Structure 1
Amino acid sequence: MSGPSYNYTVETPATFFLMGVPGLQSSYLWLAISLSTMYSIALLGNMLIIIVICMDSTLQEPMYFFLCVLAAVDVVMASSVVPKMVSIFSSGDSSIGFNACFTQMYFVHAATAVETGLLLAMAFDRYVAICKPLHYRRILTARLMLGLCVTIVLRAVISMTPLSWMLSHLPFCGSKVVFHSYCEHMAVAKLVCADPMPSSLYSLVCSSIIVGSDMAFIAVSYILILRAVFNLSSKNAQLKALSTCGSHVGVMCLFYLPGISSIYIAWLWQDAVPLHIQVLLADLYLIIPPTLNPIIYGIRTKQIQERMWVLLTGFFRHGL
């Protein structure tokens, strides 16, 4: 039995047009203001964290190293989508070039793959610090930290490069309107006039393996952390550790839940969930974590808070 045949004229569109958030056109001004505010907070907060950690020699512990890398990834992740979203919502400029579209797609997926790996590395760091404090510096050496970061980045590059490559080499025809606010893989795949299943299936399997395995290890880390915390004799120490772990888990939920929901809704419940909800879910997990991470991981950390205050007061004093 022969498979389906596709009759099409191979065409490489020079430009795609991003729809934004279908059905919420009346709220575009509010969305532009909200995204601009969150993006400004994300840029300022993450850049401050990078500057403070790089300038202060006392903040050279593994936790701050991972936090610095996370801040850099958050800047890349937010910057890959938010400026174009704001342009769509504020001025209606929805055009994006073919190469720019797939470059954006690559950076979005690669940055999210790096982010989930860093969250796992930070959970491992907290596990060693709380459960094996006497062996902390012996386990988390500079060589291990560098190796973890290189492995996380290589995993993202190796896994996500085929994703954009497979889709960009398929023929496009007909509509050039992407029903999304950025070049999300599944939304662009709907525009091809060949079978996009290999690329789409690769996206689903690859994302499920990376996110699923990282979440499983993170869950194990925090279960072991909680078990160690409840064995502490000091109630104040218990409350402090629980507060820190609770805020970290909260940020992870805001990253993982919208991302996972976006992936599986597009596959399983696409017709049951309104399109604007699908698009907003995909948008939220790219902008909320970069906005909140500096607050949760940085400003709530006493050492960074003190150094940041010194840096800002020195800057304003020098400026005045």
Structure 2
Amino acid sequence: MEADEESRGGERRGGAGTVVVLGGTGWVGRHVSAAFAAEGYDVVTVARSAARGPAPARFVALDLVTAPVEEIVAMLEAARPDVVVNAAGQPWGTSEPVMRTSLLVLTERVVAALGRLSFRPRFVQIGTVMEYGPTSPGLPIGEDTEPRPAGPYGEIKLAGSRAVLAAARAGTVDGVVVRLVNVVGPGTAAASLLGRVLDRLLTARREGSAAELVLAPLRAERDYIDIRDAADAVVAAARADVTGRAVNIGSGTTVPVRRLVQQLIATSGVETRLEERDPAAGGPVSPGAGGDWLAVDPGPARLRLGWKARRDLRDALRDDWTERAAR
């Protein structure tokens, strides 16, 4: 259903409109905010606390888990955004209760608030392909792939996505879900494989020593994209006629995880001793639950959003290292 300009957010500001990015100070939220700003949007970031350093956008301090839903409604009524993006929540690697509260409960509260507004902004929920669980090697995830998550993170994220899609079907929210593949780039999540590798490389660089990396066997081949391409996909979803739909966001090709780790080591210039050790032999246990092969069919994102991955992963790794080393 097409909404007029007033019902989609009232008077437009900043040229393209106004966007509220929930969790806008986090890794994904920071890039999403930058992508909307680059398109001329007036960006409002919402989080429990402000980011360190200069604020990239207007900031509103609000705990979306503990604040009454009425406060969320009031905040959105004051901002009157054309778009609301949910990039909030603690990443996988934290405890299940923390993930459930920060990912699912938060989403349910935001959906409830959106349903009470006097206008109807587009709502973009950032999901993950972990909602699908392991897939058969060589078989890309498509629109008709049945979600069967293999761990708490995927299960919780799937429940949040389903809450958004159910509200969209009921007509109370103009919502769309974008399910991201693995992402890499400036600010990579500390709990991720590449985030952990980065941390050890930086520690060795500071200490002037060689880095010692003992990792679980790097057998996986995964679909990876630059975090900035992912942010562009969120902007595209905010503009496309995709209400009530989940769209998978990825390149459609797989990259050996071992190659990414080796490229990151080479980019850092840090002497590194890398050992892949099976958990049965005392090696670390991989926290992932996506299987050893994962890719999505990129066709629907091109068709429905006009989006495709464009950036080189080598640049993403270089920019991530350069930013962290400078800090």
TM-score, normalization by structure 2: 0.28
TM-score, normalization by structure 1: 0.28
Higher-Rg member (1/2): 1
Query: When you count strand as a share of all residues, which structure comes out higher?
Result: 2
